[in-house]
Chain A
Amino acid sequence: MKQINRVRQNRSSKDFACSRIDFSQPIHFSFNGKEYTGVLGDTIASALLANGIDVVGRSFKYGRPRGIVTAGSDEPNAILQLGNCEATQVPNVRATQQLIFEGLECHSTSGWPSTRFHLMGIFGALFARFLPPGFYYKTFMAPAKWWKYYEKWIRKGAGLGRSPNRADEDIYEVINQHADVLIVGAGAAGLSAALGASRMGARVILADEQNEFGGSLLSSNIKINDRCTRDWIDAVVAELINYESQGQLLLLKHATVNGYHDHNFLTIHERCTDHLKDKAAQNEVRQRYHRVRAKQVILATGALERPLVFANNDLPGCMLASAISTYINRYQVIPGNTLVVMTANDSGYIAAIDWHNAGRRVAAVVDTRKSHASELSKQVKALGITIIYQSAVIEARRKRLNSRVCSAVIMSMDSTGDAVKGVKKLFCVTL
């Protein structure tokens, strides 16, 4: 399949100055048994979006088709099962965090018998009205002896992956570490803090869950010292590596700080080879678990965008604005043709600008706030994009049961944001 949503421009192009992918190195992988091609630097999510894949799984209870929503560890839908053989099966991997490597095999974890035809989907569509919260507590409890019959089908119909049934042959390590300062997250804040602490002579550990340092700067078009963010990141990291070579600093990529326990005891889960291959080589460590006792901890974990709750907001094609910017700027992937942005703050405008600059159409920016003239809104207007103030997308619509979003129903809101009136319909492919 062709990467229909990929913009084939190289890094030197002005609009993709902060792209982190390498077109010269195509990578083949399979998703649900089908072969796809991505490029070096892609996550599974960006590669699937590039290939125009909308549906990556089925929802847990109603079996609704679901697509990729985010570009990071907050992803709720794109939860995959990885592994080329029984011993290397890993459930619960977020497509937005797993890099592709040659020969990677992954499957949707929800969506038996298949993501396209789904038992729960039909069940969910027919009986959705009768699936209130607490449904499983209420309905399947009685008669109790039937549970053993229900359970098998419910578990099979739902579920988020399975455990391997062969022993894992790879090597895993647990390491005890001590640090003056542990810094969680290596975005602009974490990098700055690490350099600040290192210059003061502290023993520092800097851990970040991504494959590269830089955090949100990796997907931002903002200019630092009139140059793209990559140059600033590279300069800071270069100085940090200098401290690392002196044994004063430990830099950990692919390393998620997972637990903050009593008396500044933190655990870091470092995935050493998971982004490179299915199975580690002999005598090579696949994952490390660092048990860190730190004197001081700095959380530079950034912020998550909060989605807005509206009708059918789960249709494939509805994404977070920040994720859209990330896919465009970092992976050169535009996940759709026409965009409608709904926002309650200024950050939605950035996604609209990025989308427009990538060469595809922005139908409108729908701002729930009253008319205002922020710098970003001026820029958006200058690009000829319509802004609809004090309005909201109240519902997303689709054409067929399994298709992605195709239009947005927009209504204006009263000043309290509690009621809506008037209907406007806009066609879009990504929201």
Chain B
Amino acid sequence: MLHLSCHTGGRPIWSDALCAFLADDFNKEMQCVGAANGQYALDKIIEESVIAGINAAKLSGNENHDFSSNVNKELDILKPKVETYLASKAQAIFHIPHAKATFMAPKQFVDFQLDVTAAGIELAVAEGFESIEHVKRYTALGFGTDQGKISNINGMAIVAKKLKQSIAETGTTIFRPNYTPVTFDAIAGRNVNSFFDVERYTPLHREHIKLGALFEDVGQWKRPWYYPDDNETMNEAVARECLAVRSGVGLLDASTLGKIDIQGKDAREFLNRVYTNAWSKLPVGRCRYGLMCGEDGMVFDDGVTACLAENHFIMTTTTGGAAHVYQWLEIWHQTEWPELDVYFTTVTDQWATMTISGPKARFLLAKMTDIDLNPESFKFMDWREADVVGVPSRIFRISFTGEQSYEINVPANYAVVVWEKLLEYGQEFELTPYGTGTMHVLRAEKGFIIVGQDTDGSVTPADLNMGWAVAKNKPFSFIGQRGMNREDCLREDRKQLVGLKTKHPNQVLPEGAQIILQPNQPIPMKMVGHVTSSYFSAALGHSIAMAVVKNGINKLGDSVYLPLDNGETVEANICSPIFYDPEGAKQNV
């Protein structure tokens, strides 16, 4: 029975003498013994099996043991006296002919489980199926849960006879795991229910539950989605949270963002090579937004990196891209630029990040720390070390909302203390916790992209109208530079990121909706792009959408149409994706 010997690629070899298949020598660390090796005499079976056992033991590193040290040689049970019969030779017969021709005779079954008959196999061969694998698939021979254990050889023999060739020439189909059916439970083992897929929680997870947050899955992370008041719908909650940030101050748990600590005297040069923009002149105490591209020139991650010291940076990545970026940095350092003196450590779990955002953010922060928050000295895109309610922290003045915004980073173990104090001091400013739902709307109002939502691996920085983030004069050819200069990446009619305003201000477009230029086209219509992000903006009082449209950057003001799946066609205007505060005045004050 050679089922197992086939699983990794071994092919059974037909033995005419034994009328059976034997294993080939594909598996070097495997031996067959006994009947599986074509040996049917019991005394011989025992003898050859003991030898095989001893050899296997030796080959696996037990060559120095004394086999018979504690065995009674006179009465060894492995040397028994066995009665034997001298057998006469077997006949290689498989299919017993009937007085009538096979197709007229009563059914002669080969595969019982799937009702494959000798006549069926002969018919398949007559219809031109000559490869045993094809006959198998056409007739379903050996397809059952028994995998044709008793039927395959008979089937092959009938095919061989019909094709007037030997069984060896006909060959055999392959057995695959599993030998007998296995329950899914056994394979899953204990990895069921909450162990099925690991969930990652931020250090503030319990605080979110206390506040009644609903959660969104982002990779393995559970992130607060929104914090509904009694009976509030998601739309209502998000609108309330959005307005609170725009008019007062909101609080977001941003701990899930990937954080990579980068050190070494060549850290700056390394950043120059992996980011599209320039890092040579970023002074200590400042932050910079960076775009990361693949060698093909397509955007695959973005984030803010801060210069902590001359040879020390901290990089933030997208929540979902953290592991990939970390691996990306390692592979380039290890394979292409091992001469660079640079070290990476992932510190995502070591730091908790709380973002306070809104016109009143500075007033709140002033209650928590003594450092100088004067916007003349602690400017937008600065970072400062600070003592926040007694906890050593790093405060980054960066903004994903377009408002005055401070990201307070504290060691994860102190997160709850700082969070509680923020809520306590925040009462006076009606501090409103907000989740990813609101974060998405706020950033879309500002035209900030989310990699993976507004990009799909086929979008260059130029397509995003973010040429400003690509350095032109870096000495080293950074990753992506050559790719984004391929002929195809320089086409004018590439899909480019734009904003969309619907004619009807309350209409929220479905994400993924296709865009056409002429409304009355026959199907298939000519599609020129699609909606990537779409929300209702409470702050602006109308819907907003981001989309990629062919040559869209040159089409500002044009009308486009979106045929929806309910049959309705919606008209919209192409506009800049920056809907709110296009001058960036608010984040700068």
Contacts and interface: CB of A to CB of B under 8 A. Distances in A.
A413 interface: yes
A216 B32 CA distance: 16
B30 interface: yes
Contacts of A429: none
Nearest to A373: B88
Interface string B80-110: 1111011111111111111100000111111
A144 to B, nearest CB: 20
A232 B180 contact: no
B112 A392 contact: no
A160 B23 CA distance: 31
A260 B57 CA distance: 19
A115 interface: no
Query: Max chain A CB contacts within 10 Å: which of B62, B89, B112, B120?
Result: B112
A194 B188 CA distance: 30
A236 interface: yes
Interface in A354-385: 368-369, 372, 374-377
A196 B76 CA distance: 11
A277 B105 CA distance: 46
Given A300-B33, A313-B109, A267 B177 contact: yes
A375 B54 contact: no
B138 interface: yes
B183 interface: yes
Q: Is the interface of A mostly helix, strand, loop or mixed?
A: mixed
B328 interface: no
Contacts, number: 389
A75 interface: yes
Nearest to A423: B99
B83 A413 contact: no
A226 B58 contact: no
Interface stretch (A46-54, A61-69, A147-155): A61-69
A172 B77 contact: no
B198 interface: no
Contacts of B3: 301
A302 B330 CA distance: 51
Interface in A161-201: 168, 170-174, 180-181, 183-185, 187-201
B178 interface: yes
Contacts of B81: 224-226
A295 B36 contact: no
Given A133-B139, A308-B96, A346-B85, A172 B49 contact: no
A189 B62 contact: no
B38 to A, nearest CB: 8
Interface string A305-327: 11111111110000010000000
A92 interface: yes
A200 B32 contact: no
Interface stretch (A28-36, A251-259, A332-340): A251-259
Nearest to B177: A259
B146 A128 contact: no
Q: Is the interface of B mostly helix, strand, loop or mixed?
A: loop
A427 interface: no
A258 B182 contact: yes
A180 B183 contact: no
B428 interface: no
A300 B60 contact: no
Contacts of B99: 394, 411, 420, 423
Interface residues of A, number: 122
A392 B96 CA distance: 7
A395 B68 contact: no
Contacts of B49: 188-193, 196, 298, 300
B283 to A, nearest CB: 52
Contacts of A75: 146
Query: Max chain A CB contacts within 10 Å: which of B93, B118, B188?
Result: B93
B158 interface: yes
Contacts of B82: 222-225
B91 A344 contact: yes
B11 to A, nearest CB: 14
B115 interface: yes
A174 B8 contact: no
Contacts of A417: 91, 93, 97
A309 B95 contact: yes
A386 to B, nearest CB: 18
A419 interface: yes
Contact of A261 (B7, B62, B115): B7
A77 B35 CA distance: 24
A326 B29 CA distance: 33
A172 B146 contact: no
Contacts of A330: none
A252 to B, nearest CB: 13
Contacts of A235: 77
Interface in A57-113: 59-62, 64, 66, 69-70, 73-77, 79, 90, 92, 94, 97
A133 B124 contact: yes
B520 to A, nearest CB: 31
B46 interface: yes
B207 to A, nearest CB: 32
B150 A193 contact: no
B154 interface: yes
A299 B60 contact: no
Given A297-B30, A346-B90, A394-B97, A374 B56 contact: no
Contacts of A310: 95-96, 98, 108
Given A196-B78, A304-B150, A393 B96 contact: yes
Given A202-B60, A260-B5, A193 B32 contact: no
17 contacts: A69-B112, A76-B144, A77-B112, A92-B145, A94-B146, A193-B50, A199-B54, A199-B69, A259-B7, A261-B8, A267-B178, A269-B180, A296-B56, A299-B2, A346-B88, A368-B91, A420-B98
Interface of B: 1-5, 7-8, 19-20, 23, 27, 29-40, 42, 45-54, 56-62, 65, 67-69, 71, 77-78, 80-83, 85-99, 105-116, 118, 120-121, 123-124, 138-140, 144-146, 149-151, 153-154, 158, 177-183, 185-191
Given A76-B113, A224-B81, 13 more contacts: A74-B146, A133-B120, A160-B113, A196-B51, A289-B189, A300-B32, A302-B1, A309-B118, A314-B107, A320-B150, A345-B91, A369-B89, A420-B96
